[in-house]
Amino acid sequence: MQNFVWFPLEDFPFIILTLVIAFTVHEFAHAYTAYKFGDMTAYNEGRVTLNPRVHLDFLGTLLIIIAGFGWAKPVPVNPNRFKHPKVMSIIVTAAGPISNLLIAAIGVILVYGLNETGLLHAGSEGVYSALVHFFFYLITMNILLFIFNLIPLPPLDGYRIITNLVPYQLRYKMEQNVQWGMFVFLLLVFIPPLRAVTLDPVLGFQWDIFSFIISMCDRVFSKELDWNQIVIDFLR
């Protein structure tokens, strides 16, 4: 069974919980921002909610467990209802990835908080191991989703941001060839040699972002936290 999934089987509860949080908050951020900017489309379809059932796509969630790549249900947005369609469309689109980055930052802060209060090591070894695994997945997967979604290829958020930044004529040409962009994207995701020289180096920036968040927290919290030991405990 382990040969058919991307993650260790024993980590499934942490993976599922992380994906539910990450996908739900990501899509809610799109829907809520669009709603606040005057587009009622997502609101009328019941998407301005933190209820995971309306945001999760079964096949997309299953694929990320099996292949390390998946998706949630896209939030419907009508830019014509925005007062400033281009600018507001960019903000609505960027809200999703930014929400994932915020989740990762909150995850790091919570680990520091647990360490500061002594609660990180207060329980049994099993409780400590569960906390380490959950927070490590919560932080790293949300940073990955932040980077991944900003890649400027369809159907990702990064592509939609780019289409709102370029002149109309270029945007029209991009939309005419969107199917080829999606084809290229799928090739990069599912062909390991291509993925190794394209997506993987970009996604590798997750550790730089992780380190930056840690460096910020080190300045705030007084009690030292050994992240190297946490990584070792996670890999054990």
Q: Which residues are catalytic?
A: 27
Tokens of 29: 């951020």
Tokens of 129: 């191991």
DSSP 161-194: HHHHHS-HHHHHHHHHTHHHHHHHHHHHHH-HHH
Choose among 103, 87, 90: nearest CA to 140: 103
Those residues with Cβ within 8 angstroms of residue 224's Cβ, 6 or more apart along the chain or in another chain: none
Tokens of 98: 């930014």
151 phi and psi angles, rounded to 5 deg: -65, 130
Tokens of 12: 């499934």
What is the amino acid identity at position 71? W
- Cα–Cα distance for residue pair 5/67, rounded to 1 Å: 7
Instruction: Name the helix (H) or strand (E) containing 17.
Output: helix 12-36
Counting beta carbons within 10 angstroms of the beta carbon of residue 110, is it exposed (0 to 12), middle (13 to 18) or buried (19 or more)?
middle
Give the Å distances, CA to CA, from 222 to 111, 113, 187: 13, 10, 47
